[in-house]
Structure 1
Amino acid sequence: MKYAICNETFEGWDHARVCARVAELGYTGLEVAPFTLAPLVTEVSAGRRTELRRHAEAAGVQIIGLHWLLAKTEGFHLTSSDAAVRKRTGEYLAELAYAAADLGGDILVLGSPFQRNLPDGMSHAQGEEYALDTLRHCLPALERSRVYLCLEPLTPAETNFMTSAAQGVALAKQLAHPFVKLHLDVKAMSAEVAPPPDVIRANRDWMYHFHANDPNKRGPGFGPTDFKPIFQALKDVDYTGWVSVEVFDYSPDPDTIARESIRYMRECAG
């Protein structure tokens, strides 16, 4: 397994320090939230992108891509009824793809629940039509940068749009683009009817990226979820992508989260 961890876990840490520490703990990948770099990714200069990549590579770590793509931004929305907003959002996703490539990665994880919620009165079918229009604006950039847009289903408690792996795959199928795939997250899969290992097996042909966390919003091993069947399912489908730790509860501290998460995952992976 290839293990990564999300950089916002280390709030307040210098980028070079994060890279050095995660490498010491055995991670070889770092997933970056754009808001940790600048309010907008377009404000991160080419020189700064090169510097960030070099710091990571010097530590033996690859920046694998970006997530929380639209978090802490304004004016972007996946399912907006305003065509101008959809176009602007799609074009910003294109900029995120270029940034990910500059940093050395090939993944964009499209979660950002607040920026995809359907407004009151909008049907799911209408929201899907708008989302497809938004995403079509970034498809040429995905191909040029060779970056994969990974659609992330989330729980109904977080959003009212794309709340199951089946809905994520349905959206990807309609886009029918080689650089649009599915992302699976253990916390999110906990809300599915089927258990996470079954969801993994059912979506093996679409899954390109994977987040390891517990439904309690902490890291793997910090909650009741048994990850052994989950890692067995990843092996069963010959998953060769990254297993990236993403948490929402940063207690007790970043170092403990990172250290104990990878220890537990290695134990479960066998």
Structure 2
Amino acid sequence: MKYAICNETFEGWEHARVCARVAELGYTGLEVAPFTLAPRITDVSAARRSELRKQAESAGVQIIGLHWLLAKTEGFHLTSPDAATRKRTGEYLAELSHAAADLGGDILVLGSPFQRNLAEGITREQGEAFAADALAHCLPALERDRVYLCLEPLTPAETNFMTTAAEGVALARKLAHPFVKLHLDVKAMAAESAPTPDVIRANREYMHHFHANDPNKRGPGFGNTDFKPIFQALKDVNYVGWVSVEVFDYSPDPDTIARDSIRYMRECAG
């Protein structure tokens, strides 16, 4: 297994310090939230992107890509009835693709629940069509950059659009593009009707990225979820991508989260 962790876990830390510490703990990947770099990814210069990449690589860590793509931004919305908003959103995702490639990564995780919620009166079918239209504007960039856009199903408590892996796959199939895939997240899968290992096995064809966390919003091993069957399912489907730790509860501290999460995952992976 290739282990990564999300950089917003280390709020307030300098990038070089984060890279050095996660490498010491055994991670070889770092997943980056754009809002930790600048208000918009277009505010991060080519020189700064190069510096961030070099700092990671000198620590023995790869920046694997970006997540929380639209968080803390304004003017973007995936399922907006307004064509100009959808175009603007897709074009910004293209900029995120360029940035991910500049940083040395090849993954974009499209979660951002608030920027994809269906407005009142918009059906799921309309939302899917709007989302497909918005995403069409970033497809040439994905192909050029060789970056995978990984659609992330979230729970109904977080959003009203794309709340199951099946809905994520349906949108990926609608786009029918080799660089549009599925992202699976343990916390989100806990809301599915099927057990998490079954969801993994059922979606092996499209799964390209994976977040490890507990439904309690903490790291793997910090809650009641048994990750042994989950890692077995990943092995069963011959998953060779990253297992990236993403938490939403940053207690007790970044170092403990990172250290204990990878220790527990290694125990479960065998």
Shorter chain as normaliser: what TM range? over 0.9
Aligned twin of 1:136? 136
Shift of 1:84: 0.5
Aligned twin of 1:26? 26
Aligned twin of 1:124? 124
Shift of 1:27: 0.1
1:200 counterpart letter in structure 2 = I
List per-residue Cα deviations over 1:154-184 (Å, max 9, x = no partner).
0000000000000000000010000000000
Shift of 1:121: 1.2
Aligned twin of 2:56? 56
Tell me how far apart the structure 2 counterparts of residues 6 and 83 of structure 1 sit (CA, whole Å): 32
Shift of 1:196: 0.6
Aligned residues: 270
Shift of 1:223: 0.2
Shift of 1:247: 0.1
TM-score (norm 1): 1.00
Shift of 1:138: 0.3
Structure 1 stretches of 5 or more lacking a match?
A: none
1:257 partner SS: helix
Shift of 1:149: 0.1
Tell me how far apart the structure 1 counterparts of residues 129 and 174 of structure 2 sit (CA, whole Å): 10
Tell me how far apart the structure 1 counterparts of residues 195 and 250 of structure 2 sit (CA, whole Å): 26
List per-residue Cα deviations over 1:194-216 (Å, max 9, x = no partner).
01100000000100000000000
1:181 counterpart letter in structure 2 = K
4+ residue segments displaced more than 2 Å: none
Q: After superposition, where does 1:241-256 map in structure 2 within 5 Å?
A: 241-256=241-256
Tell me how far apart the structure 1 counterparts of residues 195 and 14 of structure 2 sit (CA, whole Å): 38
Tell me how far apart the structure 2 counterparts of residues 63 and 8 of structure 1 sit (CA, whole Å): 13
Aligned twin of 1:168? 168
List per-residue Cα deviations over 1:20-78 (Å, max 9, x = no partner).
00000000000000000000000000000000000000000000000000000000000
Aligned twin of 1:15? 15
Tell me how far apart the structure 2 counterparts of residues 125 and 206 of structure 1 sit (CA, whole Å): 21
1:173 counterpart letter in structure 2 = R
Shift of 1:141: 0.2
2:120 partner SS: coil
Structure 2 stretches of 5 or more lacking a match?
A: none
Shift of 1:220: 0.1
Aligned twin of 1:191? 191
